[in-house]
Structure 1
Amino acid sequence: MATNRVKRLVACGCVAFGLAAGAAQADTLADAMVGAYETSGLLEQNRAVLRAADEDVAQALAGLRPVLSWTANATRNFGEARSTNTTTNPLTGQSSTRQVTSPTVSNSASVGLSLSLMVYDFGRTRMGVDLAKESVLAARHSLVGVEQRVLLRATEAFYEVRRAQQTVDLRESNLRLIQQELQAARDRFEVGEVTRTDVALAEARLAEARSQLAAARGNLTIAQEEYLAAVGQRPGPLQPPASEPELPATVEAATQTALRIHPDIVAQQHSVTVAELQIAIAEAAMKPRVSLSGNLGYQADIDSTDYSRSGSVSLGAEGPIYQGGELSSLVRQAMAQRDQQRALLLQATRQVRQGVANAYIQLEVARSSITSGNDQVRAARVAFEGIREEATLGARTTLDVLNAEQDLLDARTLLISAQVDEFVAAYNVIAAMGLLTVDQLDLPVQRYDPSVYYNLVKTGPARSQEGEKLDRVLRALGKQ
């Protein structure tokens, strides 16, 4: 129930993604996420890792099946033989000896079939299949974790471009305002109302404004490059969501959801199961193994009609007696690895819990900063307008006006950052809960279904009909 409620809350925040896209043709946050999902090399890399883990299931399953192999060979034996031949002349009775060399050649061919089948090994091979399946599940949830990081990076890149662009706009507006103040100072200097010092102060502040504008434009370029790296294309005009996504009201509610479904925790739970299966496999390796084998053979002399046929069937058992302590060491090593995975699970749980709490803290800080920032901007604007009016009456100096304008600029800059930080923190909360995925956000993409490849390879197809289906899937993925 809580998961469905969180899905509903996240979806509410995503409805606003495309509201203004039609009118202004601006890139929305959904567009950025879709681009990141479809072009991410990191996602493609981890999908390949998952497909490799899928193949481990097929390879483990092969151990439960009979293994049939064949042999064939053709042999030509050749050489020469030397012999001594003694003959006797019947007329004279005399004997003569001579050596005779003759070639020897023989041709033969043989074919054979052999079959072997593991009959019983105390569940060692079957547990290997279960281990491979658990590894697949761990890899799937690790892929979801990578997907979250890819989408969160796209989100942060989107808002950083927004922050940088708004800062540039603010700096440009500030530059125009200071240029106006400089012109006003020069006009007043011409009529003797201010001194040359006031003009110099305005000129110095104008130079500073130009420097700050150059820095802001540089930051915008950096943000645009990060957007390109994260999303796969350069940003156009950006249209942010109208409102931030709705989140659980309390940290505790968000934490409970995260502890139940966060991909890092679920992946690590499967890793613990893998480690426990490794212990059972290591213990089973110390027990006997029963196997069945059979052989068929046929051999023929090509130079004649001679041939021979043979066959055998055997049921055998084998098991270790003394391995120098290796098998016991492997069991102890597997136990240590299980303890390691359990510790990693505890660490992952704590990190997820801390991540949720930190995200909420950042969100509250941003919201407080927005409230204070609005008050600060309002007060700074009133102060600036009042001081500028007083300066026209001679009650304030040019420096007072410039300082008031700088205070207003700083307040507006802080407010822009706080507004961006609020949205970024909100999506960090979603990611910390384990819900920043294309499924939860219902993004309009062709989603990668890890079960398609797994269902095709889990039975270990070769060139059968299933193998042909697998070839089509690989071609669709661009892997063949």
Structure 2
Amino acid sequence: MVGTAFKAKLAAGLTALALTVPGATWADTLADALVGAYNTSGLLEQNRALLRAADEDVAVAQSALRPVVDWTARLNRTFGRSASTSTAFRTVGTANTQASYELSVQLTLFDFGRTKLAIDSAKESVLSAREGLISLEQDVFLRAVEAFMGVRSATENVALRESNVRLITQELRAARDRFEVGEVTRTDVALAEAELAGARSALASAQGELDQAKEEYRAAVGRAPGQLVPPRAIPDIPSSLDRAKALAVRNHPDMKQAQREVTVAELNILRAKADFNPSVTADGSYGFTENFRSEASSQGGNIGITATKRLYQGGRRSALLRQAQANRDAARANLHVVQVGLEQAAGNAWSFLQSTRAARDASQRQIRAATVAFDGVREEAKLGARTTLDVLNAEQDLLDARAALIDATANEYVAAYTLLYTAGLLTADHLKLGVQQYDPSAYYNLVKDAPHVSRQGEKLDRVLKALGKN
């Protein structure tokens, strides 16, 4: 215990020291950002709670198979005044106190599968909610990837713009020196000054974009970015477009959730049909009554079996059946819509990845050529064969090529992770992140049998307290 406390204090001290040392920053990898997003996402916490609420629907449905036990206690005091022949018409006061206690039990014996179908429907709804949680997990991770690459891209753009300002400042100084000796005109100086003003404006814009990117990172990851380390390599992705589409249709949580929703709708139709059938219940009661005035008491009970069938309800059951059938048809149509959407998303992600790779390769070639051109134009300008405008244009071409490479590199990573997203593989499990993954079955296993007063119920109470919900 002492060792743990010491380690915690040491870690806190090192953290504080690092934050006070000038220039000290944390180095964050993309994996660190994904872990931070997973551990701090309020959206994930919200939907985990909603999943636990869906788990309780199974317990509610399960409870219908168990007896309903009620107890009733009543203390009754009666009083009054009366006159009759037996009292020679004299007014006599009367009062009596009576206590009664009753215990009643009711149990459904047979309902043509309505309760069983309700349990199955609740279980399918839980599985559907789990797929929704996985889908949301993918959303959280993709946003974190986009935020990470957004900060890296914005940071590199700021550095590029700062370098451009320094370079144009040198060009302006050189133009002014050459103007002093009569090698160039005032126009060349004005061009360099205008270019410098534009470069400073672009730098201010890039710094604003960096600030916005940092805010998005903070929202997506749960903390401010440190020094972001470039990803080592593109993650493993589907090898072909057909493979990506097949994975999307078979593996994406949205598709699995849509399939579960169809099953729920079909079970609800069976429940609506079963509602037309009778139900058989067993009931019994036992009671005790005591009259305090006469010291008389009685006790007894009853037990019986009741069969009930509703003959007419104004068309309510028929309407509910038609409604369930319409919901089933809608769920089936949604299954087709989700499939088409996932295939389109996979195709778009694949195309996006290929285009970013082509843009990256083209930008690299453009940088090499633009560098040679810029160096040559600058040397020719020194000899008087080129104007200041030619130098500035060549420099702008090189700047544009470098900026394009920054964007293309960032977009390539985003496109690769987007392809994983469409294939249903952007999960903590598939990415092998070092996080303690949320187990959706743990809470379900505690509540599925509707525990009340038992060891399981006590364990559930401890779990709820640990979650801070009780």
TM-score (norm 1): 0.91
The structural deviation recorded for 1:82 is: 5.0
The residue type paired with residue 122 of structure 2 is A
Partner of 1:20: none
* Aligned partner (choices 148, 153, 158) of residue 138 of structure 2: 148
* Aligned partner (choices 162, 166, 182) of residue 172 of structure 1: 162
* Aligned partner (choices 403, 410, 415) of residue 420 of structure 1: 410
Q: d(CA) in 2 for partners of 1:160 and 1:72? A: 69
The residue type paired with residue 243 of structure 1 is A
Q: d(CA) in 2 for partners of 1:398 and 1:339? A: 71
User: How many residues are treated as equivalent by the alignment?
Assistant: 447
Offset from partner CA, 1:57-83 (integer Å, 9 cap, x none): 000011111111111111122233356
**Does 1:282 find its partner at 2:283?**
no
CA contact (8 A) 2:255 2:339 kept: yes
Q: d(CA) in 2 for partners of 1:312 and 1:84? A: 40
The residue type paired with residue 44 of structure 1 is E
**Does 1:160 find its partner at 2:161?**
no
- 3-state SS of 2:302 partner: strand
Partner of 1:377: 367
Partner of 1:49: 50
Q: Where do residues 12-23 of structure 1 align in structure 2 (5 Å cutoff)?
A: none
The structural deviation recorded for 1:25 is: 4.5
Offset from partner CA, 1:194-239 (integer Å, 9 cap, x none): 1111111111111111100000000000000000000110001001
Partner of 1:457: 447
Partner of 1:438: 428
Q: Note the residue ranges of structure 1 that are not aligned, 5 or more in a row.
A: 1-22, 88-98
Q: d(CA) in 2 for partners of 1:249 and 1:477? A: 42
CA contact (8 A) 2:104 2:286 kept: yes
Q: Note the residue ranges of structure 2 that are not aligned, 5 or more in a row.
A: 1-23
The structural deviation recorded for 1:130 is: 0.3
The residue type paired with residue 410 of structure 2 is V
The structural deviation recorded for 1:85 is: 9.7
Q: d(CA) in 2 for partners of 1:85 and 1:331? A: 66
Q: Where do residues 263-282 of structure 1 align in structure 2 (5 Å cutoff)?
A: 263-282=253-272
**Does 1:254 find its partner at 2:231?**
no
Q: Where do residues 203-218 of structure 1 align in structure 2 (5 Å cutoff)?
A: 203-218=193-208
The residue type paired with residue 45 of structure 1 is Q
Q: d(CA) in 2 for partners of 1:461 and 1:153? A: 39
Q: 1:83 to 1:326 in 2, by over 3 A?
A: closer
- 3-state SS of 1:45 partner: helix
Q: d(CA) in 2 for partners of 1:415 and 1:261? A: 33
- Shifted more, 249-258 versus 128-137: the winner is 249-258
Q: d(CA) in 2 for partners of 1:303 and 1:153? A: 78
Q: d(CA) in 1 for partners of 2:238 and 2:270? A: 42
- 3-state SS of 1:385 partner: helix
- Shifted more, 185-194 versus 316-325: the winner is 316-325
Question: What is the aligned-residue identity percentage?
Answer: 57
Q: d(CA) in 2 for partners of 1:308 and 1:372? A: 98
Q: d(CA) in 2 for partners of 1:222 and 1:242? A: 25
The residue type paired with residue 69 of structure 1 is D
The residue type paired with residue 248 of structure 2 is A
- 3-state SS of 1:163 partner: helix
Offset from partner CA, 1:402-424 (integer Å, 9 cap, x none): 11111110111011100100000
* Aligned partner (choices 328, 332, 336) of residue 342 of structure 1: 332
**Does 1:324 find its partner at 2:314?**
yes
Partner of 1:38: 39
Q: d(CA) in 2 for partners of 1:24 and 1:105? A: 86
Q: d(CA) in 2 for partners of 1:163 and 1:82? A: 101
Partner of 1:92: none
CA contact (8 A) 2:147 2:216 kept: yes
The structural deviation recorded for 1:101 is: 4.1
Q: Where do residues 42-191 of structure 1 align in structure 2 (5 Å cutoff)?
A: 42-81=43-82, 100-191=90-181
- 3-state SS of 1:64 partner: coil
* Aligned partner (choices 269, 281, 286) of residue 291 of structure 1: 281
Partner of 1:201: 191
Q: d(CA) in 2 for partners of 1:314 and 1:86? A: 45
* Aligned partner (choices 436, 459, 468) of residue 458 of structure 2: 468
- 3-state SS of 1:445 partner: coil
- 3-state SS of 1:435 partner: coil
- 3-state SS of 1:68 partner: strand
The structural deviation recorded for 1:104 is: 2.0
Q: Where do residues 219-258 of structure 1 align in structure 2 (5 Å cutoff)?
A: 219-258=209-248
The structural deviation recorded for 1:472 is: 1.3
Larger radius of gyration: 1
The structural deviation recorded for 1:335 is: 0.7
The residue type paired with residue 413 of structure 1 is A
Offset from partner CA, 1:227-281 (integer Å, 9 cap, x none): 0000110001001221111222111112222222211011111110000000000
The structural deviation recorded for 1:152 is: 0.6
Offset from partner CA, 1:424-479 (integer Å, 9 cap, x none): 00000111110111111111111110111000000111132111111111122221
CA contact (8 A) 2:25 2:226 kept: no
- 3-state SS of 2:145 partner: helix
The residue type paired with residue 70 of structure 2 is S
Q: 1:83 to 1:39 in 2, by over 3 A?
A: same
TM-score (norm 2): 0.93
Q: d(CA) in 2 for partners of 1:85 and 1:131? A: 69
- Shifted more, 76-85 versus 251-260: the winner is 76-85
Q: d(CA) in 1 for partners of 2:256 and 2:271? A: 23
The residue type paired with residue 103 of structure 2 is L
Partner of 2:7: none
The residue type paired with residue 42 of structure 1 is L
The residue type paired with residue 413 of structure 2 is F
- 3-state SS of 2:76 partner: strand
The residue type paired with residue 53 of structure 1 is A
Partner of 1:305: 295
Q: d(CA) in 1 for partners of 2:237 and 2:444? A: 35
- 3-state SS of 2:438 partner: coil
